[in-house]
Amino acid sequence: MTSVTEARPVRRLRRSIVAGQLVLAAVGAYVLAESAGLGLWNELGPGPGFFPCVLGAALVLLSVVWFFQERAGVQAAPAAEEADGSQVRSVMLSLVVLTAALPFIGFQLGVFLFLMYHLRLRARTSWIKSVLISLCGSVGVYYLFTLGLNVSLPEAAIVPLSLIGL
């Protein structure tokens, strides 16, 4: 008798999970359809519908992946431990500093230093890995946005830095 009463909440939970997946997929499909009407690309680069289109597609894709993971019985990761207050303060403070420093030191150097701080000092990642990830995350993203998407990012206002292309 207990197995029948225990099965009902499980079925109800599965139905609500499937309903959530369908709602998220429907929202993603709606965003995709509406963003196409805004224009994905124009003569200057990405149009007003480009990023909503990418986000809508990602939402649909992730909903489908979630559906198949549930069907395959993949268990969700265990709940994360409560965030350490010092980590949250560190990230928030470094984001404020990055925001204030970007107009002066530019995107490439600012994001490089931001990533180095978090990878090397906070996460204790090796020097080589920290430098490689920071370079890809700063210089790579800078050129992806400026050359690939024609989006301007802040350049350094300090003369020696601007002379070397930062």
Give residue-wise pLDDT tens across range 114-154: 999 999 988 889 999 999 999 999 988 888 888 888 888 88
How many residues can be counted in the chain?
166
Residue among 62, 59, 63 nearest 30 (CA): 59
Q: Where are the domains of the chain?
A: 15-72, 85-163
Which tokens sit at 103? 């107009």
Model-level pTM?
Answer: 0.55
Where the chain has pLDDT below 70, the residues are 1-7, 10, 74-83, 163-166
Question: Cβ atoms within 10 A of the Cβ of 120, count?
Answer: 17
Helix (H, G, I), strand (E, B), or coil: what is residue 157?
Answer: coil
Quote the radius of gyration of the chain (alpha carbons, Å): 22
